[in-house]
Amino acid sequence: MFNLLLVSIGGGLGAVSRFLLGVKIQQRYPDPPIPVAMLTVNLSGSLGLGVFFGALFGGIPVLEYNNPWFLLLGVGYFGAFTTFSTFSVEAATLLHDAEYKKAFVYIGLSIAGSVAAFIAGIYWFI
């Protein structure tokens, strides 16, 4: 039960953080060529998760589901902060609107960028 509470608290904080950062970016860039709000959220979240894993675990943890920090931050906060579902909707919308070049750039930056940011975060500490 305590583990569920940790994931819930982290998830709530991560979702609120994602919302606030997304709103701030959309206010600053109201009509970007690609969805920069969620791109920024996903890249920064991937970097943050990598930094967290590198600092606390020295690498990618395996089966840490009894570690309260892993549950609170790794599963809860960063799991809710980053959003693959919104990325999917935005990518599908660009494709539906025949914005193929923008879709390719957005998909490429989102996927390759998130993986690269995560790896950079991990290696920041190891």
* pTM of the full structure: 0.92
Residue 125: its pLDDT value, please? 79
Cβ–Cβ < 8 Å for 51, 63: no
Picking from 114, 91, 111, 115, the residue whose alpha carbon sits closest to that of residue 101 is: 91
Q: Which residue positions form the known binding site for Na(+)?
A: 79, 82
Q: Which residue positions form the known binding site?
A: 79, 82
22: three-class secondary structure by DSSP = helix
Residue 67: its pLDDT value, please? 95
The number of helices, as runs of H, and strands, as runs of E, in the chain is 6, 0
Residues 84-117: tens digit of each pLDDT: 999 999 999 999 999 999 999 999 999 999 999 9
Residue 63: its pLDDT value, please? 82
**Domain extents in the chain:** 2-123
Which residues of the chain carry a pLDDT beneath 70? none
